[in-house]
Chains A and B, each alone.
Chain A
Amino acid sequence: MSSLTIKQRKNLGHLARWLMAIVLIIFAIFPVVWVISASINPSNTLASAKLIPDNFGWDNYRLLFESPQFPFARWLWNSVKISSITTVLSVSITTLAAYAFSRLRFTGRQTMLKGILLIQVFPGLLAMIAIFTLVTQFGSIVPALGLDTHAGLIMVYLGGAMGVNIWLMKGFFDTIPRAIDESAMVDGATHWQIFSQLLLPLMRPILVVIGILSFIGTYGDFILARILLKSTEQYPLMVGLFIFTSGEFSQKWGPFAAGALIGALPIMIIYLLLQDQIVGGLTQGAVKG
């Protein structure tokens, strides 16, 4: 070994790390490759799935978009719609609240910040019963906000807008020097002017990150949507895909795989394109454990 030059040792190190990387990458993408192969395998059961299918075909994809039993395109659209609206509204709520927490001083401020975190760690499973009852009652007074409506679901999602993201966002507000708004304040600017004209433009990058994280979180939610939406037409994608797994799951492996791929694709693209920005946002706080 000692006879190797520094350059040779370095190359050897690279080679070892590449070999290790290949093992890790196999572990990382194996399920994905598996699903891709299942999705283009026309014999669509779990038992007949093979890594390299005997014959290729788009039957599973065609089934998704043509079968009246599974309105897949509708589910996808529902997911995008619900997640987008929730994201825009919840980022607005979060940003306004984070400004107040960062720039204004009031009694109960620290308690509220801690309380928000404690609410987040409360195991919400049984609170679902209360939420279900609430939305049912809302619906009998204002039918547009009741069970089986997207508006009702979004409203419940927004109840969680005052969450961990407030910490994240407040952290970023804190990094902007207060001297900026203090000088504007001296010139007679109101808080609203400082917020909307000075700080908001500076916050644009992090708003995008928090928006993406919020979108992904809503997109991936399953339990709330499952409880509050009743009709197949109203389901978002995750709930719809879950239907595939009920009953003789192993018999519907092919269509499930195709649906899973299409469903995962938008998020995968967002992640891989915006990797660096998201990493920056994530390191500021735990968003996904």
Chain B
Amino acid sequence: MTVQALKQPGAPQSNQSATLLNVFLRLVLLLAIDGFLIWFALSAFGEGYTSLGIVIAFIGAGVNYIILVRDMYPLRWMLIGLILMVMFAIWPILLTIFVAFTNYGDGHLLTKVQSIELLQQERYLPEGDAAYSWTGYRNEAGEYALWLQNEAGESYLAYPGTSLIPASEAEGVGELDENGIPVTISGYERLNALQVASDQTIPSIQFGSELDGVQIRSAREAAQLQLRYVYDEATDVITNQETNTEYSPVEGVWTSSTGEVLPFGFREIVGASNFTRFFESPAFRGPLLRIITWNFAFAFLSVFTTFSLGLAIAYIYNDRTLPGRKIIQSFLLIPYTIPSLITIIIWRGMFNNQVGVINRTLDTMFGIAPEWTVDPSLAKLAIIIVNLWLGYPYFMLICSGALQAIPEDLYEAARVDGANAWQRFYKITLPLLLVAVGPLLVASFVYNFNNFNLIFLFIEGGPPIANSATRAGHTDILISYVYNFAFASGRAKEYGLGSAITIIIFLIVAVITLFQFRYTKMWEEVGEGV
């Protein structure tokens, strides 16, 4: 092997030049990476994605540190993995945590700056002195134009969407009448008084551009539109110029002293209020206790049933003298080999109340048709059955592996001492097995605690809990409850609240996971230190 080549005398020298080449290659690589990252970060800032730019810059700094500092050598082995992990795993988690402390959601999707910008686009038509007298024109396509005259005697031609055109520069203006108003403008017909009076469209059209917008106020007068909202940075107040009402920001909504609010709320840090709302608001407290109880019960029952059945099968068929043992195991493994998304949907069809195969069979055999998706207890039972089907082969595999690792002489000794089959199982097999499989039981609990796919694809959390202030179902677990806040269509999205619940779920499973560390081999391996 190549290792032998390294033993030859010439090796150290070639090693040295290899090191030089190494350093050179590393520098070239670093320059390429830096070039790309700098370009990327600058583009991000250019597009206005400040937070993305910051993350890229942060990653860039980390990459340089890892490549240039000698002590960081081990991390070079996982550089790409780390970059991608920071970008697509850690960063989204940090954002979720941040969002949990904001009111981000429908009505609060914009930043404060964006909300002010949007409000400043609104114009209104001021009362008072006429700025212009006007004459209307219309072309065959039903488009309008205005001829405007102000008190100083200046005339303008106005189309919707383009700046006012001074009379001297206007094109296509025909002969002027005694009042200085053109009889025709190319393509457009002048409207007479009757036409103007009966025209419903023209008062709602905004002529001119955004900056010098003009709108008709009465049959004779038109006026320049004014900014409706003016923001004062010093006092952090938005004033409605027409009514002189002042609006101050209250929890991301511009609110007047009388409680009037403006559209375009913005997102704002609201401290822990999402968390306190979650625990204290009566709207949540009702379904919450049920959901949490069911969440724990579901996770526990799932682990208990799948482990029990898996262990039973492994134990009963862990007998090499049994003919056809391999075939039985292969058949029993089948549920594990089909992507769970597919099988959950299949089970959903089978449990259909009216036309599902289960109810049709029960109906023919016993004349009953349980309402699986309507009755809360039956729905829960169905979920446990489906999850048992999905999950037992995993424990069957694990347990048959672990059983074979238990030394046969332990059983021999017990037999000699007169222990019966049940005692041998209870006193020898189970304790030894639990040592090996314990961490996997905890992992399975954590997995099922957040088993969104099953709850959502099978029954979408239903049946709904009646009289609940928030949308919640009898089979909802916390994570599927979160889905209702963040993604469910037809209701206001509350990302802030959803994120807060996510954090609470995370704390629960993190505590369980860390607790598991203490009692497992994994912990010892990490702790081996060396």
Q: A interface vs B, CB < 8 Å?
A: 10, 14, 17-18, 20-21, 24-25, 27-29, 31-32, 34-35, 45-47, 49, 51, 93-94, 96-97, 99-100, 104-106, 109-110, 113-114, 117-119, 121-131, 134, 137, 140-142, 155-156, 158-162, 167, 170-171, 174, 184, 187-190, 193, 197-198, 216, 219-220, 222-223, 238, 241-242, 245, 249-250, 253, 256-257, 260, 263-264, 267-268, 270-272, 275, 278-280, 282-283, 285-286, 288-289
Contact assessment for A123 and B450 in the assembled complex, using a CB-CB cutoff below 8 Å? yes
Complex-state Cα separation, A223 to B346, whole angstroms: 18
Contact assessment for B47 and A137 in the assembled complex, using a CB-CB cutoff below 8 Å? yes
Could you pull out 6 A-B pairs where Cβ atoms are within 8 angstroms? A121-B510, A122-B502, A129-B96, A275-B333, A282-B397, A283-B401
Chain B's interface: helix, strand, loop or mixed, by majority?
helix
| A131 to B, closest residue via Cβ | B92
Contact assessment for B440 and A31 in the assembled complex, using a CB-CB cutoff below 8 Å? no
Contact assessment for B92 and A279 in the assembled complex, using a CB-CB cutoff below 8 Å? no
| Other-chain contact of A289, B346, B444, B495 (Cβ < 8 Å) | B444
Complex-state Cα separation, A137 to B51, whole angstroms: 10
Complex-state Cα separation, A156 to B498, whole angstroms: 22
Contact assessment for B357 and A34 in the assembled complex, using a CB-CB cutoff below 8 Å? yes
**4 A-B pairs with least C-beta separation:** A159-B88, A289-B447, A286-B443, A97-B78
B24 at the interface (CB under 8 A from A): no
Smallest CB separation, A48 vs chain B (Å): 8
Known: A122-B506, A272-B333. A167 touches B313 (CB 8 A): no
**Which residues of A are found within 8 Å of B328, using beta-carbon distances?**
18, 21, 25
**Which residues of B are found within 8 Å of A127, using beta-carbon distances?**
92-93, 95-96
Contact assessment for B6 and A193 in the assembled complex, using a CB-CB cutoff below 8 Å? yes
| B447 to A, closest residue via Cβ | A289
Chain A's interface: helix, strand, loop or mixed, by majority?
helix
| Other-chain contact of B81, A97, A105, A129 (Cβ < 8 Å) | A97
Smallest CB separation, A182 vs chain B (Å): 12
| Other-chain contact of B505, A20, A123, A174 (Cβ < 8 Å) | A123
Q: 13 new A-B pairs (CB below 8 Å) besides A18-B328, A189-B3, A286-B440?
A: A14-B323, A17-B322, A20-B316, A28-B335, A94-B81, A97-B78, A117-B513, A121-B506, A122-B506, A123-B450, A130-B95, A188-B7, A253-B349
B297 at the interface (CB under 8 A from A): no
Instruction: Give B367-400 as 1s and 0s: 1 = Cβ < 8 Å from A's Cβ atoms.
Output: 0000000000000000000000101011001101
**Which residues of B are found within 8 Å of A93, using beta-carbon distances?**
78, 80-81, 84
| Other-chain contact of A159, B89, B324, B450 (Cβ < 8 Å) | B89
Smallest CB separation, B85 vs chain A (Å): 4
Contact assessment for B331 and A17 in the assembled complex, using a CB-CB cutoff below 8 Å? no
CB proximity to A under 8 Å, residues B379-434: 389, 391, 393-394, 397-398, 400-402
Complex-state Cα separation, A8 to B239, whole angstroms: 97
Complex-state Cα separation, A45 to B346, whole angstroms: 13
Contact assessment for B513 and A21 in the assembled complex, using a CB-CB cutoff below 8 Å? no
Q: B interface vs A, CB < 8 Å?
A: 1-3, 6-7, 11-12, 15, 18, 40, 43-44, 47, 49, 52, 71-75, 77-78, 80-82, 84-85, 87-93, 95-96, 99, 313, 316-317, 319, 321-324, 328-343, 345-350, 352, 354-357, 389, 391, 393-394, 397-398, 400-402, 439-440, 443-444, 446-448, 450-453, 479, 482-483, 486, 495, 498-499, 502, 505-506, 509-510, 513-514, 517, 522, 525-527, 530
Complex-state Cα separation, A34 to B91, whole angstroms: 44
Known: A97-B77, A197-B1. A24 touches B313 (CB 8 A): yes
Number of A-B contacts (CB under 8 A): 281
Known: A31-B346, A189-B6, A193-B2. A126 touches B482 (CB 8 A): yes
**Which residues of B are found within 8 Å of A29, using beta-carbon distances?**
331, 334
Contact assessment for B506 and A123 in the assembled complex, using a CB-CB cutoff below 8 Å? yes
Smallest CB separation, B360 vs chain A (Å): 9
**Which residues of A are found within 8 Å of B446, using beta-carbon distances?**
121, 289
Known: A161-B84, A189-B3, A286-B444. A242 touches B341 (CB 8 A): yes
Complex-state Cα separation, A130 to B502, whole angstroms: 14
Contact assessment for A24 and B88 in the assembled complex, using a CB-CB cutoff below 8 Å? no
Contact assessment for B398 and A283 in the assembled complex, using a CB-CB cutoff below 8 Å? yes
Known: A264-B338, A264-B339, A272-B333. A158 touches B77 (CB 8 A): no
Contact assessment for B47 and A28 in the assembled complex, using a CB-CB cutoff below 8 Å? no
Contact assessment for A260 and B342 in the assembled complex, using a CB-CB cutoff below 8 Å? yes
Known: A100-B77, A188-B12, A289-B447. A249 touches B92 (CB 8 A): no
Complex-state Cα separation, A76 to B96, whole angstroms: 33
Contact assessment for B330 and A272 in the assembled complex, using a CB-CB cutoff below 8 Å? yes
Smallest CB separation, B243 vs chain A (Å): 37
Contact assessment for B338 and A162 in the assembled complex, using a CB-CB cutoff below 8 Å? no
| B509 to A, closest residue via Cβ | A121
**Which residues of A are found within 8 Å of B78, using beta-carbon distances?**
93, 96-97, 100, 162
| Other-chain contact of B6, A121, A141, A187 (Cβ < 8 Å) | A187
**Which residues of A are found within 8 Å of B348, using beta-carbon distances?**
245
| Other-chain contact of A118, B331, B440, B510, B525 (Cβ < 8 Å) | B510
